[in-house]
Structure 1
Amino acid sequence: MRPSCLLVRRAYASSKAICQQSRQLLTLAIETSCDDTSVALLEKHPNNSATLHFHEKITCDNREWEGVNPLSAHISHQKTLSALVKQALQKLPIQRPAIAHIGNSLLIPTQYGTETRRKPEFIAVTRGPGMRSNLNTGLDTAKGLAVAWQIPLLGVNHMQAHALTPRLVSALEIDETTGLNGDHNPAFPFLSLLVSGGHTMLVHSRDLCDHEILASSSDLAIGNLVDKAARDILPASTIKATSDVMYGRTLEEFAFPEEKPDYKYIPVFNNKGNFERLPTAYEHSLGVPFMLKPYEMEYSFSGIGAEVRRWMDSKPDMGKVERQVIAREAMRVAFEHLASRVLLALSKDDVKDVKSLVVSGGVASNQYLKHILRQVLDARGFEQMALVFPPPKLCTDNAAMIAWTGIEMYEAGWRTNLDALAINRWSIDPRAEDGGILGCGSWVREEKVLL
């Protein structure tokens, strides 16, 4: 073991090396907002590239309840988070002996003996929105690490992290070794379609902390709808055979079992420019939700679920082929409804400078959604609009996106006080009653960190 006094003596051994080292930002991040326990180690380099040194996730087994059980998820966080943090410590980058000192290093026991590793510059953790007790598990752990290591804490907005996930992906794709500076893509402003089991929001992302909510759901989130439809449509044997409660993914696989599915989708509009109700080979069909104000910037998915239920109830002994038709129709109609508000937003003058549509959240891993959005945009003259989907593993809840958002906030000078509390409802829109990302309190502003 290297004596701590030696580390202290080396504190100022090489000011040039220390300056160079400070240009690297390393963070340990924790995500516990729902039923996924996730920890990540992310490092950002001077040329805007990033390295994901560690990223693991454990999902609570909620199959007994056929959906997320808050108490079960909380217990899962309590059981698994510490072990994931311990694993992450083994992946901390090696600290160079020439610049190692007690302020920037940790002594980590490994299978090779005690090694000197780099201490993270700060801890990032999901502060909200989410289930408060679950959030507290992560937040309390993060506070403990911040105090023990004497480094800053940064509480991250979960939905902001989903919106910024493509910028993480672009940083991971930049080659660190070239020395060439890369850009964070997509650049602001862009549209964000945040679609998950708990949220459905169309957002105008103007800046790091300015995300105007243009449309949101008045009832069910789209992920909730897809999961409910899956439980109605899928045969009992298929439900029983699933390894988790991500029924939306199972529904997509059931509807399109081919390795490379031919979606055969062409958007059809009526003379008012709205999506047409399409006939099927059966007695029933599905249409876009009825809206009292069809051009209102609002989503409503409960009607689709009710139509699916009526169709299923009409034939208790329904065969597999018809079930597959209903599955495809339910997803098509829900995704067209998503697209309809995107088209309305793009008709507004203050959105005409937008060149990219980011689609993130658990539902963004659905490839049929990706296909429908592309076809609809092209059909309405938006061929140049870039569609940005993170890889499926980064669409669902994960600590890597929390780490990246923490880095962007840290570089902007933001820190979180240790008195910060978990927030179950937390808007990303500064126009909201709670003031958005920066309206929750416990923020401290320091000088920007320039890499």
Structure 2
Amino acid sequence: MSSILPMLFSVASVATFRRSALNTKRCLSSRRGLLTLAIETSCDDTSVAIVEKTKKESGSAAKIHFLENVTADTRAHRGIHPIIALESHQDNLATLVQKALNYLPESKTSDGLKLADGTRRRLPDFISATRGPGMRSNLSVGLDTGKALSVAWQIPMVGVHHMQAHLLTPGLVTCLENASKAGPPAIAPEFPFLSILVSGGHTTLVQSKGITDHKILATSEDIAIGEALDKSARDILPDSLLQEAKSTMYGKNLEQFVFPNGKADFADYSPPDTRGQEITKRVSDWGWSLTTPFANTRMMQFSFSSISSMVGKIVQRSGTNIKMSHAERVDLGREAMRVCFEHLASRTVIALETLRPHNTGKDEIKTLVVSGGVAANQFLMKVLTSFLEVRGFGNINIVAPPPYLCTDNAAMIGWAGIEMFEAGFRSDLSCRPLRKWTLDPQAGDGGILGPGGWIRE
């Protein structure tokens, strides 16, 4: 933080912070829109963004003035290493914040933020920083930096729920599109909608009725789908490809390995028409098969550890993975993805069938949001679209952000912060990072608004 302190306003009292920041900002931002500096440090990605939401005659628009990520290099460990990730945040966050300041819109008045080069920039209306869920020490780096900026600049802060940010991202995408085109505005997903949040740390099916009103319909009882794909990839991919990998996102490398021609390689995918076909055992040309979790039940739960475990046993069945041919590796990788993705689709269909009697009028679910790092997988989108079509839910609009907004990023944190700020929520400076934090108000922690530290304006 020392490198950016010369650019910050002097620190005043917290009392002054409450009086001046929370009152005058509201009047100004209502006329020009909302501008936020956003910080994301929940896992191994250090990310900073400048996000602005403005009003147009035809609707809302958004602009990302700045977005940059630095991912901790943990390839030597072939997975996320908590200490290395923490040190990466400590090394890079202040530098990214300093760089972001140069991308703040120019101030048209003399009371803006004066930078070292003498230029004046608009002061953000508030700070958005990920509060949880995630690695507590990593979250602390971003949250504490956000608090420091909040106090120094005398502006409010919003501690953002990471998973809420993922499911609200399609709204950001819609407003970005509206900013770049003329004519009728695109319509963001309207509540209620379903979301599949899929990443290396989370697999959750959510029903959302409002910005803070979410119900968890299913979650993983063991590991997340992204972790299962990464583990499978480490077993399936040849060592040469693992050594050449530029990151530890091995699931992405696996997709490229088994589908080198992209969509053309899975154009002939045919989903199971019935529940009976879905649970039928498929034996490969090589004699092995992968069992779909909870195949014989309608239990609303996900499980992926058994899939990656079966993959590992198949690869090592002869005592070494050197003897497995390229063709068999490709088939095994495709099958691992198919089973994982059909498991997701199956529980989603069960949820839609359960909700169908209530799916009318204002309660009608028209949209399925797919977000998180795994949402960038094109085969996943093919499976979900095809699966819902043959099961009678072809009317559901499936939306996913572009890949750069699927993975962890500060732009989505900024957008969620804007949504919460507009709804009248701020965070107290005493708020702490949360390792676990559910979305569901019926859960033990009370959901998004359950933990202390919220201020309602």
Note the 1:86-97 alignment, pairs <5 A: 86-96=98-108
- Counterpart check, 1:319 vs 2:325: yes
Measured at CA, do residues 177 and 23 of structure 1 come closer, stay the same or move farther in structure 2, by a change above 3 Å?
farther
1:329 aligns with 2:340: no
Pick from 322, 338, 345 the counterpart of residue 344 of structure 2: 338
**Equivalents in 2 of 1:235, 1:132: separation in Å?**
35
Task: Summarize the Cα distance change of 1:274–1:260 in structure 2 as closer, same or farther, 3 Å threshold.
Answer: closer
The 1-side partners of 2:279 and 2:413 are apart by 37
Equivalence for 2:196: 193
Partner in structure 2 of residue 80 of structure 1? 92
Aligned-pair distance for 1:268?
Answer: 2.3
Q: Equivalent residue for 2:4?
A: none
Contact 2:128 2:417 in 1 (8 A): yes
2:55 maps to amino acid: P
Counterparts of 1:351 and 1:226 in 2: how far apart (Å)?
Answer: 33
| 8 Å contact from structure 1 (residues 45, 176) kept in 2 | no
Q: Aligned partner of 2:63: which letter?
A: T
How many residue pairs end up in the alignment?
A: 421
Q: Over residues 305-346 of structure 1, what are the superposed CA-to-partner deviations in whole Å (9 max), with x where a residue is unaligned?
A: 222122112243101110000000000000000000000011
Q: Distance in 2 between matches of 1:138 and 1:87?
A: 16
Q: Which amino acid aligns with 1:207?
A: G
Whole-Å separation in 1 of the counterparts to 2:133 and 2:392: 36
Question: What is the match of residue 154 of structure 1?
Answer: 158
In structure 2, distance between residues paired with 1:162 and 1:20:
25
User: How far apart are 1:304 and its partner, in Å?
Assistant: 1.1
TM-score by length of 2: 0.89
The answer to whether the 8 Å contact 1:269/1:276 transfers is no
Go from structure 1 to structure 2 and tell me whether the alpha carbon gap of 1:19 and 1:229 turns closer, same or farther (over 3 Å shift): closer
Structure 2 residue 217 is matched with structure 1 residue 228 = no
> Within 1, Cα distance between the matches of 2:359 and 2:253?
35
More helix by share: 2
Which of 378, 384, 405 is the equivalent residue of 2:395? 384
Distance across 2 between alignment mates of 1:19 and 1:81: 29
Contact 1:131 1:424 in 2 (8 A): yes
**Deviation digits for residues 158-207 of structure 1 (CA, Å, limit 9, x no counterpart):** 000001011110011003785x7846511111100000111110000111
Q: Secondary structure at the match of 2:55?
A: coil
Judged with a 3 Å threshold, the aligned counterparts in structure 2 of structure 1 residues 268 and 279 are, in CA distance, closer, same or farther, namely farther
Counterpart CA distance in 2 for 1:88 and 1:367 is 32
Q: CA deviation at 1:285?
A: 1.9
Q: Secondary structure at the match of 1:64?
A: helix
Q: Distance in 2 between matches of 1:128 and 1:271?
A: 37
- The CA deviation at 1:278 is 2.5
| TM-score with structure 1 setting the length | 0.90
- Cα shift at 1:122: 0.1
Matched-pair contact (CA < 8 Å) for 1:267–1:375? yes
Equivalent residue in structure 1 for 2:113, among 90, 106, 119 = 106
Tell me what 1:248 maps to: 251
Structure 2's unaligned 5+ residue stretches are 1-8, 10-23
What's the counterpart of residue 37 of structure 2?
28
Q: How far is the alpha carbon of 1:300 from its aligned partner?
A: 1.0
Structure 2 equivalent of residue 52 of structure 1: 64
Is 1:115 the equivalent of 2:127? no
Structure 1 residue 262, shift from structure 2 partner: 2.7
Which ranges in structure 1 are unaligned for 5 or more consecutive residues? 5-14, 447-451
Worse-matched range after superposition: 50-59 or 281-290: 281-290
Report SS of the residue matched to 1:347.
helix
